[in-house]
Chain A
Amino acid sequence: MTTQLTTAAPPAPAAARPTRRSGGSTLVRRRQRWGWFFVVPFLVVFALFLIFPLCYAFGMSLFTSTLATGTDFTGFANYAKAFSDPLFMEGLLRVLAFAAVMIPAQLLVALAAALVLDSLATWVSKLSRLLIFAPYAIPVVIGALMWSFLYSPRFGPSASIFGLVGLPTPDFLASDTVFGSLVNIVTWQWAGYYMVVIYAALRSIDPSIYEAARIDGANGWQTATRIKVPMISSSMVMVITFALIGTLQFFTEPVVLRNIAQGAIDAAYTPNMYAFSLAFSYSQFNYASAIAFSLGVLVFAGSYVFLFLTRKQSGLK
């Protein structure tokens, strides 16, 4: 209900246009030429760097090259192989598991931080906002490298921290703990960014609504859960979509961590890593294209389904 307030679209002037365009006076034609002049650079870049590579990769994925027998046209055989390839499927399940854990974690941290910062109005909140955002400003690779040192039993602080309490130091890079270690890195890195998005949405709410809520006797918790969160639901949907796409394409953090935990993070840990290893370590460019393309389609489908299911909250109809 409240969402309608924020998403009411301005009346579209589009209806008036076609009649004018059909006129065909020299002035209009000249204007159209200028229109093309502005659009063409974008179209060229778009075709060159998006359409062409996509078609090229798709074309590549229709061939099969093996080390011993050379390259043959095999149609969709690589796709059939991909979806029966245990390494690809395990990787997919793994990123889905990551999505199930990581997205709620990032969202909760970001939302909680944004709500707290929104209700504070001191210099502390400004400083905290900056500090929470700081991890996002660090390049992903550097962040992951930094954490790989923090996790290290030798350089990291864990030995001394756990030593204080008299507990044995956990191994953050064993096969059963590395999942949590990765979730931690990603949440640390991205929660601040999502916090800023949510915070900006919160600031755009008309303060008179809070006043009305106060007059109605709502306390802080009620204002947060009944007014603020529903009113920023479109931003939340956007944040979740970003997080979903990012998680399904999980790549950089496990690649960096793999340098110090090769056994726990194998070459096919996530589908993106699998595609990368196939292409550049095992020189199977065709199959790698098929894996990359399949993943792309799945990410597209996944985000589309999510946006469809949340179309009411997001205001996209």
Chain B
Amino acid sequence: MKSKLLAATGIAAVAAAALTGCSGGEPEASCTNEIVNPEATQVSVWAWYPSFEAVVDLFNESHDDVQICWTNAGQGNDEYTKFSTAIEAGSGAPDVIMLEAEVLSSFSIRDALVDLSEYGAGDVAADYTEGAWKDVSSGDAVYAIPVDGGPMGMLYRQDILDEYGIPVPTTWDEFAAAAQALKDAGAPGVLADFPTNGRAYNQALFAQAGSVPFEYDNAKPTEIGIEVNDQGSKDVLAYWQGLVDQGLVATDDAFTADYNTKLVDGSYAVYIAAAWGPGYLGGLSDADADAVWKAAPVPQWDPANPVQINWGGSTFAVTSQAKDPEAAAIVAKEVFGTEEAWKIGIEEAALFPLWKPVLESDYFRDLEYPFFGGQQINKDVFLPAAAGYTGFTFSPFQNYAYDQLTEELFAMVEGEKDSAAALDDLQASLEQYATEQGFTLN
């Protein structure tokens, strides 16, 4: 009897896990920040930016009609899980939510986001680069206002490369040669890491060789084009498989404690990173005090036709549960729409602005970064990278696509299959999933 009850409790626990949605909406959110004008319309916001409180205060002090009530509901997937549950439950979502560009389609297909083109998104479109705007749009619909971006560059350890007399690679061929030279010289570390769980990072590497994995337009929500095994992706992956097989790069999972340690202790001489990478590095403890970090453009396949890529980047979207979408849209458009707010974002939170008035300002271009020994990394690397970025389309089941990508890359690194087979298998599994989910394949 006891065990029967135990089994039943077990079932209930599993069921309850699937069911947290029925716990209902949260009570009227309690704000982390102070409300300056209690009379004004309050807009609840979920965001995880460091130092966001100062930005919120700035907004509230400068707005009589709308006030932000801010909560940090966790970073990335933690927040998405809560949001996803709130959508399923029909209540409990905030009015405005911080989302990475890569998950916008996954939420818009569930009718969780408001099309901001009806709430004056067009008024601010000119403030953003073409690539940034494409990332938040699908057809004519605009699902979010861009905030920060992740144009990619190459961060490297000047001291290590100098020690072994290796020039800074500018192409992927030179990159492979540098990796070989480092190994031949008997260096204790390797040139770089190839993380099989790199998700958006790996996808960006493929995109540099022309991969357009998904074609998706919200105007035709049941149609999708999938092509993850194009020649560009296959060439890129064959290149990395070569480096892995010869032991020239590490294959540690990204964002683990091991990886973080190796990033800062010199085990990797190069960190292919987004513009937020320096902030990430700076936040890791036990950094090597003698390390000399520099930033350079990301290596190219064809130096005559450089291709810029992007890794990550966040946006503000208005949820379909917003009580006052008009007021919520004002928050999404204006919270990072001032130079003062961006000064906080850049200097306190290491954000890379997509808002042109700051992006194109002399202040941002000439900013010197102590972490890089005073190098003007925006001028040298990230501004050209951001300017050359033309946008990217993610699938409406991006989490699934990433999980499958990780598995296939891991199988390749473990020697179970070669790079071309890994991508073909990925294509097959994504096509099958899309069909099961009711999509028509283009």
Contact = CB atoms under 8 A, between A and B. Distances in A.
Given A149-B257, A262-B197, A245 B439 contact: no
B14 A154 contact: no
Contacts of B261: 154-155
Sort A-B residue pairs by CB-CB distance and give the 4 closest, nearest first: A263-B410, A296-B11, A68-B438, A69-B438
B126 interface: no
B22 A260 contact: no
24 contacts: A50-B9, A50-B12, A53-B12, A53-B16, A67-B109, A68-B222, A152-B258, A154-B262, A175-B410, A249-B13, A259-B256, A260-B257, A260-B258, A263-B197, A275-B17, A275-B18, A280-B85, A281-B77, A283-B88, A285-B18, A289-B19, A296-B14, A297-B11, A300-B8
B6 A153 contact: no
Given A69-B438, A260-B256, A279-B18, A304 B110 contact: no
A292 B10 contact: no
B413 interface: yes
A262 B197 CA distance: 7
A80 to B, nearest CB: 13
B396 interface: yes
B267 to A, nearest CB: 9
B396 A67 contact: yes
Interface in B81-96: 81, 84-85, 87-88
Contacts of B21: 285
Interface in B44-80: 77
A140 interface: no
A27 to B, nearest CB: 31
A293 B84 contact: no
A175 B400 CA distance: 20
A153 B8 CA distance: 40
Contact of B11 (A49, A54, A285): A54
A266 B403 contact: yes
B166 to A, nearest CB: 24
Interface centre among A49, A263, A296 (most CB of B within 10 A): A263
Contacts of B253: 260-263
A263 B81 contact: no
B221 interface: yes
A69 B409 CA distance: 31
Given A281-B399, A282-B400, A155 B8 contact: no
Nearest to B112: A283
A299 B19 contact: no
Given A174-B414, A296-B14, A53 B7 contact: no
Contacts of B9: 50
Nearest to B87: A283
Interface in A139-170: 149, 152-155
B397 interface: yes
A299 B439 contact: no
A54 B12 contact: yes
A57 B410 contact: no
A56 B155 CA distance: 52
Interface string A265-285: 011000010011101111101
Interface of B: 1-4, 6-19, 21-22, 77, 81, 84-85, 87-88, 106, 109-110, 196-197, 221-222, 253, 256-258, 261-262, 396-397, 399-400, 403, 406-407, 409-411, 413-414, 416, 436-439
A293 B18 CA distance: 10
B414 A175 contact: yes
B262 A67 contact: no
Contacts of A259: 256
B234 to A, nearest CB: 20
A280 B436 CA distance: 18
A54 B8 CA distance: 9
Contact of B437 (A68, A175, A241): A68
Contact of B399 (A245, A282, A289): A282
Nearest to B395: A67
B11 A56 contact: no
A113 to B, nearest CB: 23
A303 interface: yes
Q: Does more than half of chain B's interface fall in helix, strand or loop, or is it mixed? A: helix
A299 B438 contact: no
Nearest to A154: B258
Contacts of B11: 54, 292-293, 295-297, 299-300
Contacts of A155: 257-258, 261
Contacts of A276: 17
A295 to B, nearest CB: 6
A60 interface: yes
Given A66-B438, A149-B257, A282-B400, 16 more contacts: A54-B11, A67-B439, A152-B257, A249-B10, A259-B256, A260-B253, A261-B253, A262-B406, A279-B18, A281-B77, A292-B17, A292-B18, A293-B15, A296-B15, A303-B4, A304-B4
B280 to A, nearest CB: 17
A117 interface: no
A241 B258 contact: no
A238 interface: yes
Contacts of A54: 11-12, 15
A288 interface: yes
A262 B410 contact: yes
Given A66-B437, A67-B396, A266-B407, A238 B19 contact: no
Contacts of A229: none
A307 interface: yes
Interface centre among B2, B17, B110 (most CB of A within 10 A): B17
A264 interface: yes
B217 to A, nearest CB: 13
B23 to A, nearest CB: 10
B22 A56 contact: yes
Contacts of A153: 258
Contact of A67 (B4, B81, B87, B397): B397
Contacts of B12: 49-50, 53-54
B18 A296 contact: no
A174 B413 CA distance: 10
A245 B7 CA distance: 7
A283 B106 CA distance: 9
Nearest to B397: A67
Contacts of A53: 12, 15-16, 19, 22
Nearest to B109: A67
A299 B7 contact: yes
A266 B262 CA distance: 24
Nearest to A259: B256
Contacts of B197: 262-263
B406 A67 contact: no
B18 A281 contact: no
Nearest to A292: B14
